[in-house]
Chains A and B, each alone.
Chain A
Amino acid sequence: MDNLTLLMEGFANALTLQNLLFALIGVLLGTAVGVLPGIGPAMTVALLLPLTYALDVTGSLIMFAGIYYGGMYGGSTTSILLNTPGESSSVVTALEGNKMAKAGRGAQALATAAIGSFVAGTIATAALVFVAPFIVSIAISLGAPSYFAMMMFAFIAVSTVLGTSRIRGLSSLFIGLAIGLVGMDATTGQPRMTFGQPLLAGGIDVVVIAVALFAVGEALWIAAHLRHGKPATIPVGVPWMGKDDWKRSWKPWLRGTAIGFPFGAIPAGGAEIPTFLSYVVEKKLSRHPEEFGKGAIEGVAGPEAANNASAAGTLVPLLTLGLPTTATAAVMIAAFNQYGIHPGPLLFKTEPVLVWTLIASLFIGNTLLLALNLPLAPFWAKLLRIPRPYLYAGILFFAVLGAYAAGLQALNIVILLLIGALGYVARRYGFPVLPIIVGAILGPEMERQLRRSLQISAGDPAALVGEPLAVVMYSAIVIFLVVPPLVRLVRRRWVRRPDVPAGEETKPENADTPDSLVR
């Protein structure tokens, strides 16, 4: 285990009192800035980067690792407590996390997010140590057709959680797809639905859409119902995770990590798709599916782990290829460059000490983050004791601030309010809001990959199934779509014929097996 020795050397470099202090400062600052909605991890790192200029390479890398993980985690706090996601990757956390917070389980939601982030971050960083070269060789072999197939899969998987009414769910999805169309077409440069406004050419920021639908939509909803009686203050329950919470969290943490890391490591992965997928998986596998939508802890634990694992996964292409797959990674490359270090295929060979110190720093930053945030969770959760009118005034304030910070444009605030009104209408008439966000995030990405595939093949649709992973994905989709209805059909036939001959009575039990696989 040559890598292990090198990693130990990295720890030896990183673990000095002074460096630990830098790590602590980094984690604190990163969390603080990350908590502000609209300021995602990339901006957090960019804003705080000048602070590291004064330090030596090791010190700055360590502070950097702290800022990076702190910023990733900070976003989930506002998601859970205020229903105001600070970045697109913590949108899913708000779904169940905020419901938990309202039921007086905010501390548990924050705790499972913190521990899940730690578990995922640690496992994923370890994976980075041992499987990075292997993953990179796979990542390079993936082309646009594979990405398109993967997104189709995510799309179909997520659309199964459209809610009770198919028509309402699909309507929401198409509204989301329409919002996603706004902006300049990346292939031809033609503006679409921009109404001649250059400000709209870049599309509508996903954070603005999410904050509008969740926070503003809900504030309007609460305001509309104030006359029906004084709403009770949100209860704040016990501050710690109970035995049952642990039991229901550990598997989602591990599954979230397994989903998040590979997505982070491939070039077009990002953190949104794995968090959505993790949510769907947890909902399907949960023993308490009825709790989803009302505050299921699995729905926080899984996506939060997926989010952090994908953040660590991002470092795989960064350190082995010099390939920034997210804005945060691009800022990191800029940070490396200032020391004359150029991440690329030779980095592990030319700068081994530095790389392993960075990896050791990531472990340290991750541990400090947990040590800092776990004790704080109950205190954060007490925020919700604020009476509702003031609480929602505060939420609206943060929502507007976040929308403005996302693009420094007053137009964003107008879009926020318009989509917020849409969110209110959706609640009033029972349309689910999650599909709107799914459409707005996945729609443009799918379109890009589909058009890119067809462009490369000069219009030949056969190219879409020209890569092995694409074939695997489409087969999975077919199984996903065909098997459950078949099972239902088989079952219905048996139910309709109660006079079943005795010898065939075992069959319905056989039909159970595939059903439990997809449930």
Chain B
Amino acid sequence: MTRRLIGTTIVASTLVLALSACGVTGSASTTATDSGPYKGLQVMVPNAPGSGYDVTGRAAVRVMDEIGVSSGTEVTNLAGAGGTVGLARTLTEKGNPNFLLVMGLGVVGAAYTNEGDAKVADATPIARLIEEAGAIFVPANSPYQTLGDLVAAWKADPANFAVGGGSSPGGPDHLLPMQLADAVGIDPGAVNYIAYDGGGEMLPAILGGKLQFAASGYGEFLEQIKSGELRVLAVTSEERVPVVDAPTLTEEGVDLVFTNWRGLLAAPGITSAERARLVGAVTAMHDSKEWAKVVKDNGWTDSFSTGTAFSSFLTDQDKRVATTLKSLGLV
């Protein structure tokens, strides 16, 4: 009974959404062919204010408005289900050329763990903007000085080895320790992963020595790393990171490169001219010195890519995430 009731309401709410989407499309199509700056561009952030997607999206919008690529861009936060709700909403904007979704690795994973129908592949890829390397770190008083020490102890008793991360299952901080475990020969299913609500909530737990190690983007912990309260055993990027004095996983003999990345998707069903215009606007944003400053201030790495390079990257990420989650029985 309840199920049917909710089913009906979903149909009703989808109808409402579809209708509103049509409304947006109708009014937007008149401006789509203009060649000047974008007016009334909508950017959707699939997470709460203050989150990584939010910071990335709002910074990009600010730069685009500042350099005159767009004006009066509207940012909307639509949090829920690790970004899946925002993704689903993007798919209902079919044919709307003025709509962008901020997304990243977390949304790819959440689309699987939430068993929704919305898949990243259904939207139109626009660009990858930045990446944030992950780090494997321990508190200053931890006995582990190298990644080798850590892995040896971890292998001996994975069940008693508390590993923390700032994302729910399917998110980047969850995927990283699982892929690391797999790469060093530990069954990912045996990993004792403790999910925190963002890096902020995890910080006291790692500083207080409640966790054996944490796997997360280093950006949020840069200040603790600088002050020596946290020790980075390895970074997960392909090459060393200038701000962190630590070897890469590959240097430590682990065959794994893992970076969290964020980028932009557009609504499905837009024409190639409309897509090219969005890519052009985002490229202009990326080439500005304002954006370079944003990337530097936030401790990100510029990893701009568009077109087929970004599309095939998305497909590859989709596969990798699916494999990891399948081995954990989450898909």
Give the distance to chain A from B322, nearest Cβ to Cβ, in Å: 14
Q: B residues within 8 A CB of A452?
A: 194
Contact with A along B1-36 (1 / 0, CB 8 A): 011001101101100110000000000000000000
Within 8 A of B (CB), among A387-424: 407-411, 414
Contacting residue for A345 out of B116, B197, B229, CB 8 A: B229
Would you call B203 an interface residue if the criterion is a C-beta within 8 Å of the partner chain's C-beta atoms?
yes
Q: Mark A439-463, 1 if CB is under 8 A from B, else 0.
A: 0000000000000100110100000
The chain A residue sitting closest to B171, CB to CB, is A189
A487 within 8 A of B: no
A186 to B201, CA, bound (A): 14
Q: Please name the residue on chain A nearest to B162 by beta carbon.
A: A456
Contact with B115, one of A191, A268, A324, A410 (Cβ below 8 angstroms): A191
Given contacts A186-B168, A338-B59, contact A408 B76 (CB under 8 A): yes
Smallest CB–CB gap between A9 and chain B, Å? 24
Segment touching B, from A40-48, A206-214, A238-246, A273-281? A40-48
A193-217 vs B, CB cutoff 8 Å, 1 = contact: the mask equals 0011111011000000000000000
Q: Using known A-B contacts A334-B58, A337-B298, determine if residue A327 contacts B50 with beta carbons closer than 8 Å.
A: yes
CB distance from A216 to the nearest CB of B (A): 16
A201 and B195 contact, Cβ closer than 8 Å, known pairs A191-B114, A330-B48, A411-B10? no
Q: B203 contacts A458, CB within 8 Å?
A: no
Q: On chain A, which size bracket covers the interface? A: 35 or more
CB–CB B48/A42 < 8 A: yes
Instruction: Point out which of A199, A340, A458 has the most chain B C-beta atoms below 10 A from its C-beta.
Output: A199
Query: Once the chains bind, are A143 and B201 in contact (CB under 8 Å)?
Result: no
- Nearest to A46 among chain B residues (CB) is B49
Chain B residues whose C-beta falls within 8 Å of the C-beta of A139 in the assembled complex: 204
Q: Which residue of A lies closest to B139 (CB)?
A: A140
Interface residue from B9, B50, B169, B208 paired with A140 (Cβ < 8 Å)? B208
> Complex: how many Å from CA A321 to CA B199?
12
- With A53-B62, A189-B168 already in contact, the answer to whether A410 and B13 are too (CB < 8 A) is yes
Q: What residue in chain B is nearest A415 (Cβ atoms)?
A: B9
- A-contact 0/1 string along B186-225, CB 8 Å cutoff: 0000001011011011011101101100000000001110
For A414, give its contact among B9, B79, B169 (CB under 8 Å).
Answer: B9
> Does residue A188 face the partner (Cβ distance < 8 Å to B)?
yes
Q: Is the CB of B208 within 8 A of A46?
A: no
B308 within 8 A of partner (CB): no
A19 / chain B contacts, CB cutoff of 8 Å: none
Q: How many residues of B contact A (CB 8 A)?
A: 66
Most A CB contacts (10 A, CB to CB) among B7, B170, B201, B223 go to: B223
A15-68 CB contacts (< 8 Å) to partner B: 42-43, 45-46, 49-50, 53
> Shortest beta-carbon distance, B115 to chain A, in Å?
7
Contact of B205 among A143, A202, A322, A324 (CB under 8 A): A143
- How many whole Å from A464's CB to the nearest CB in chain B? 14
A187 at the interface (CB under 8 A from B): yes
Partner of A325 from the list B169, B195, B200 (CB cut-off 8 Å) is B200
**Residues from 40 to 83 in B contacting A, C-beta threshold 8 Å:** 48-51, 54-55, 58-59, 62, 76-82
A-B pair number, CB within 8 angstroms? 178
Q: Which of B6, B16, B84 contacts A410 (CB under 8 A)?
A: B16
The answer to whether B229 and A407 have CB atoms under 8 Å apart is: no
Q: For residue B49, which residues in chain A have a CB less than 8 angstroms away from its CB?
A: 42-43, 45-46, 327, 330-331, 334
Given contact pairs A50-B62, A345-B223, A202 touches B80 in the complex (Cβ within 8 A): yes
| A170 within 8 Å of B (CB atoms) | no
B10, B197, B210, B211 — most chain A CB neighbours (10 Å): B210
Are B115 and A144 interface neighbours, CB within 8 A?
no
Contact at B200–A323, with CB atoms within 8 Å?
A: yes
Judged by a CB distance under 8 angstroms, whether B297 is at the interface is yes
What's the nearest-Cβ distance from chain A to residue B167, in Å? 10
Minimum distance in angstroms from B87 CB to a CB of chain A:
9
Instruction: Check if B54 sits within 8 Å of A46, measured CB to CB.
Output: yes
Residue numbers in B under 8 Å from A50 (CB-CB): 62
A3 partner residues in chain B, CB cutoff 8 A: none
The residue that B226 contacts in the complex, of A144, A186, A201, A346, with Cβ under 8 A, is: A346
Which chain A residues border B77 with CB–CB below 8 Å? 43, 46
Q: Is the CB of A198 within 8 A of B208?
A: no
A342 interface residue (CB < 8 Å to B): yes
| Most B-side CB within 10 Å, residue of A201, A267, A327, A345 | A201
Is there an interface contact between A189 and B201, defined as CB atoms closer than 8 Å?
A: no
Given A43-B49, A53-B62, A330-B51, verify A189-B200 contact (CB < 8 Å).
no
Q: B197: nearest residue on chain A (CB-CB)? A: A186
Q: Would A325 and B201 be within 8 Å (CB), given that A197-B10, A198-B118, A411-B9 are in contact?
A: yes
Shortest CB distance B23–A (Å): 14
A344 contacts across to B, CB distance below 8 A: 222-224, 226-227
Whether A106 is near chain B, meaning CB under 8 Å from some CB there, is no
- Residues in chain B near residue A195, CB distance under 8 A: 2-3, 6-7
- Measured between C-beta atoms, what is the minimum distance from B13 to chain A in Å? 4
| Nearest-neighbor residue (CB-CB) of A196 within chain B | B115
Q: Taking the complex as formed, is A234 at the interface, i.e. its CB lies under 8 A from any CB of chain B?
A: no
**Listed A/B pairs (29) with beta-carbon separation below 8 Å:** A46-B50, A46-B58, A140-B208, A184-B82, A186-B168, A188-B169, A189-B113, A189-B168, A197-B6, A198-B88, A198-B117, A201-B81, A201-B84, A324-B50, A324-B200, A327-B49, A327-B50, A330-B200, A331-B49, A331-B54, A334-B49, A337-B297, A347-B223, A407-B79, A407-B80, A407-B85, A410-B17, A414-B6, A458-B192
Q: Which residues of A contact B (CB under 8 A)?
A: 42-43, 45-46, 49-50, 53, 139-144, 184, 186-189, 191, 195-199, 201-202, 267-268, 317, 321-325, 327-334, 337-338, 340, 342-347, 407-411, 414, 452, 455-456, 458
Binding site for A on B (CB under 8 A): 2-3, 6-7, 9-10, 12-13, 16-17, 48-51, 54-55, 58-59, 62, 76-82, 84-85, 88-89, 113-118, 159-160, 162, 168-170, 192, 194-195, 197-198, 200-201, 203-205, 207-208, 210-211, 222-224, 226-227, 229, 294, 297-298, 330
